[in-house]
Structure 1
């Protein structure tokens, strides 16, 4: 039986279970050090496998569509941060300062890769361009995200580190494993393609480890005592407003700039989403340990909202295009039969 489209998926349920476990049994004391090492190894392995999976041919195929990529990157790294700053006087009263810091961090993150491509495919958009655009966003985000964080988030919240120091840490922990995976793709690429379940396990497992560690630290610092229930409700409103504005802006811009329908779909899905897979490890590197839990909470909520909304849009647009194609094929078939009948009458 298919899951109703507005219910959380299994991974979201695992995230909720992980937060609950961390709230009841947080890791602390001497156990925190080996757990932190385990988390770092899992994150490095995640980016190594993503590097081995990414096809260079797919990048080359979509790289020439530069106008589309500029629009997507502008939405991801310009529109979202501007929205986060401009709307702060209106939206920040709905949440706590710590949660809005997480909202601003969310606005600096790159786009998703897997879900952007999947939704573009379902909606019958330009899939090669989506592969290239989402992948480029992830790579650029390694450098742009910490720089944006240093500009729009307080240094105290980011642990007092400079943007260059943060970039260096991200390069060592995320980019180096990714490049290593790319270099070894000729050797292990086929194995990765045959065993995609391994990548999914590492992908989701590493995120769950980071979330558990982050929320354990936050619980030890009294996260839930400083986060009223009304602020969590306000966070839903903030996330919904950001997503609605991003969807509306990408729809309007892609249409006004004269892109084809397939390209419009790609721009909308790649330019309106934020990556949980990249955001959680980056938060661990950028922010002080005590702040990570509150920082990733808005990202987790936004992630679920964007999945539900974009899944609904993708299914609706894909079904509409398929119906239009069937109707067009039916019209052509009827026209052909009419021509045959007319020819037979003349004979």
Structure 2
């Protein structure tokens, strides 16, 4: 049994994954608990939790390491361009060819494409695969900060007709107060609090995941309550999963080709592949809660990101393990 759990964990099927799935079922059968008129103040709690998450994220950022990482500018430029430019443009191409303007799943797919990269899983997978670890840390950190501004701009200018109740100026202001300000405060207090953070990493990780679970639950609860998933059959969800998996491998291949064309080293190529292809569920959930204030719609918009997140962990972990073994040989 322990071996099975270890195998599942290595391919991304950890406790958090199953809890995410559990939140969807909880929302389906108890939607009233997550609605705005619920006696449980879940939305208020998640709002506070979001700011706390990003405060401690700012504490984890090292000003010195950020300065040291500036030298490898070509690699950083490629990673950020693939994250915020190539990804959205590829989705837009498919949207123009096959998209449905009235589909919130298409809007959710574009939203995931416009998001920043993950921090923890990108760095971990680059490390396992034998890539450029300092560059991975730098790019994942910068991506999260830059995304606060670039993601709303993409959503405003590229799909304005589908971005429900979306106002760019209001969104940026709210994100600045709820996310950027806590990050900045945390960065300023890095030297004072980094020891506390290092000692309590597991507790802080559990707190982060708890907030994400609440966001997912409240978003899906509203959508289920309003019957927004009517017409989205199990077959359709399986098709979405297959498409997201194909999308992930296509982006990996594209980033590999770009890196080879620029004659990057093996280590830098790995960094581009794993940092450029990963998308952050944490920032997707917390930023989406601000950008899409209608929780009924937000539940469907969040669905492609959740599917992509699970698949990128499973497929990415397996690929990183294989590349790491090749590096050792």
Normalised to the residue count of structure 2, the TM-score between the two structures is 0.93
1:3-39 alpha-carbon deviations (Å, 9 max, x no partner):
2444622111010001111111122353267221111
What is the aligned partner in structure 2 of residue 123 from structure 1?
Answer: 129
1:200-225 alpha-carbon deviations (Å, 9 max, x no partner):
01211110011011111111111232
SS of residue paired to 1:3: helix
- Between 1:174-183 and 1:52-61, the stretch displaced more is 52-61
The answer (yes or no) to whether the contact 1:125–1:261 under 8 Å persists in 2 is yes
Whole-angstrom distance in 2 between the partners of 1:175 and 1:260: 34
Matched, 1:133 2:139: yes
What is the aligned partner in structure 2 of residue 83 from structure 1?
Answer: 90
**Residue 100 (structure 1) aligned to one of 94, 106, 112:** 106
What is the aligned partner in structure 2 of residue 286 from structure 1?
Answer: 291
1:57 deviates by 2.5
Matched, 1:166 2:171: yes
Which ranges in structure 2 are unaligned for 5 or more consecutive residues?
none
Q: Identify if the C-alpha distance between structure 1 residues 123 and 57 changes in structure 2 by more than 3 Å, giving closer, same or farther.
A: same
Alignment of 1:300-339 (within 5 A): 300-323=306-329
1:171-226 alpha-carbon deviations (Å, 9 max, x no partner):
11111111111122222111101110122012111100110111111111112324
Over 4 Å off, 4+ runs: none
Largest Rg, 1 or 2:
1
Matched, 1:185 2:190: yes
What is the aligned partner in structure 2 of residue 330 from structure 1?
Answer: none
What is the aligned partner in structure 1 of residue 277 from structure 2?
Answer: 272
Whole-angstrom distance in 2 between the partners of 1:248 and 1:54: 30
- Between 1:20-29 and 1:200-209, the stretch displaced more is 20-29
**Residue 119 (structure 2) aligned to one of 99, 108, 113:** 113
What is the aligned partner in structure 1 of residue 258 from structure 2?
Answer: 253
What is the aligned partner in structure 2 of residue 213 from structure 1?
Answer: 218
The answer (yes or no) to whether the contact 2:12–2:317 under 8 Å persists in 1 is no
The answer (yes or no) to whether the contact 1:105–1:153 under 8 Å persists in 2 is no
Whole-angstrom distance in 2 between the partners of 1:96 and 1:147: 21
Q: CA RMSD in A?
A: 1.8
1:92 deviates by 3.7
What is the aligned partner in structure 2 of residue 30 from structure 1?
Answer: 37
1:243-270 alpha-carbon deviations (Å, 9 max, x no partner):
1221011101111101111111101100
The answer (yes or no) to whether the contact 2:118–2:144 under 8 Å persists in 1 is yes
What is the aligned partner in structure 1 of residue 154 from structure 2?
Answer: 148
**Residue 227 (structure 1) aligned to one of 207, 232, 235:** 232
